[in-house]
Amino acid sequence: MKFHSKRTTAFAALVLSGAMALTGCGGDAEGGGDNGGSEDVSITMLPKNLGNPYFDTSTAGAKAAAEEIGATLEEVGPQEATADAQVQYINTAAQQGVSALIVSANDPTAICDALNQARDAGTKVVTFDSDTEPDCRDLFVNQATAEGIAKVQVDLIAEQIGDSGEIAILSASANATNQNAWIEMMKQDLEANHPDIELVDVVYGDDDDQTSFDKTAALLQSHPNLKGIVSPTTVGIAAAARYLSDSEFKGKVALTGLGTPNQMREYVKNGTVEAFALWNPEDLGYLATYAANALATGEIEGNPGDTFEAGKLGEYTVEDDNSVLLGEPFVFNAENIDDFDF
């Protein structure tokens, strides 16, 4: 599997860097960025909301990275995925004077003032998963290109409905930077390459399980000819799958999008869902933490061309848009889902 082979490579890199440390090679006299040089780095991790297994997994990756680095990391966050609710946590992190804040933004602009105040106070800001406007952060750690994430979902739904018929999108919250970028690109892809698919509705479940469940029911009611649903959120797709699975629409209305294997396994096995996509959220949190540490220690400034080591994942280079790219989305189906546990 892709993740596995990547892990193997990363593992080899880790062994190699360990060997280099033992022989005294590869050390950087100015240090700060290397393992063991970051005891004073404190990091706050602020997901869109708490209680979402996707973010539980990214935070687990962040904690693993912090432990390797020797930094402290605390996760905080609201119950509801809103920008307003995030602002107070950003303000607190700034008041505490943490070295870095890692945030998945519920809105591209609404948290910007708070983030820039934190930056003025000396906190480095890394967005991950869902970005802000570029001038409110030092670096964006991107899970995969927006084009790639949009295309994989359009390809999957097109395959599953014979490239023709009505579809709807069940998204996260209406202002989420990541979902909105993906939806925009899905629309473009559908228009350009799938003339017989009609996108009839876009609804928002707010990354809340019950709201997403209710919105699925409403979609099926208001669009009797619906052939498929695309849900570009792990909360939405799991709630929609649960609804479909117990309904007359199971196996008749296709469902795909972005999900975690552990939440979707049951629905792939019982025939509700054929295939869906995602990246590894654990790796995303892990990479964001190495990036935050590299910024906090001054190893990088977040400028295009800056490079840093991200432990088992190897070396990363900051791209022209001040982002770092984790990789490509991956498709899960009945054949491979049991190889994954997150």
Interface residues toward ligand RAM, by CB under 6 A: 48, 52, 54, 104, 129-130, 172, 176, 178, 207, 233-235, 258
List the one residue out of 173, 153, 130 whose CA is nearest residue 284: 130
Closer CB to ligand RAM, residue 48 or residue 124? 48
In whole angstroms, how close is the CB of 49 to ligand RAM at the nearest point?
9
Nearest CB to ligand RAM, comparing residues 208 and 306: 208
Class of residue 35 by CB neighbours under 10 A (exposed 0-12, middle 13-18, buried 19+): middle
Distance of closest approach, residue 296 Cβ to ligand RAM, in angstroms = 24
Least distance in angstroms from the C-beta of 299 to ligand RAM: 27
How far is Cα of residue 134 from the mean position of the Cα atoms in its chain? 17
Q: What distance in Å separates the CA atoms of residue 278 and residue 285, rounded to the nearest whole number? A: 14
Q: How many CA atoms lie within 13 A of 79 on its CB side?
A: 1
Residue nearest to ligand RAM (CB): 54
Alpha helices in 70-142 (DSSP H): 83-96, 112-120
HSE value, Cβ hemisphere, 13 Å, CA-based, for 166: 11
The angle formed by the CA atoms of residues 258, 273 and 47, to the nearest 5 degrees, is 25
Whole-number minimum distance, CB 258 to ligand RAM, in Å? 4
CB closer to ligand RAM out of 228 and 259: 259
CA 106 from chain center: how many Å?
12
Which two tokens mark 257?
A: 């999008």
Measured between alpha carbons, how far is 161 from 51 in angstroms, rounded to an integer? 33
Rounded to a whole number of angstroms, the minimum distance from the CB of residue 193 to ligand RAM is 23
Q: How far is the CB of 141 from ligand RAM (least distance, A)?
A: 12
Residue (172 or 255) nearer to ligand RAM, CB = 172
Q: Which is nearer to ligand RAM, 42 or 260 (CB)?
A: 260
Q: Are 32 and 103 in contact (CB under 8 A)?
A: no
CB of 77 to ligand RAM, least distance (A): 12
Nearer to ligand RAM, 62 or 172 (CB): 172
Fill in the amino acid letter for 76: V
Q: Residue 128 or 316: which CB sits closer to ligand RAM? A: 128
CA distances from 275 to 221, 265, 322 (A): 24, 10, 32
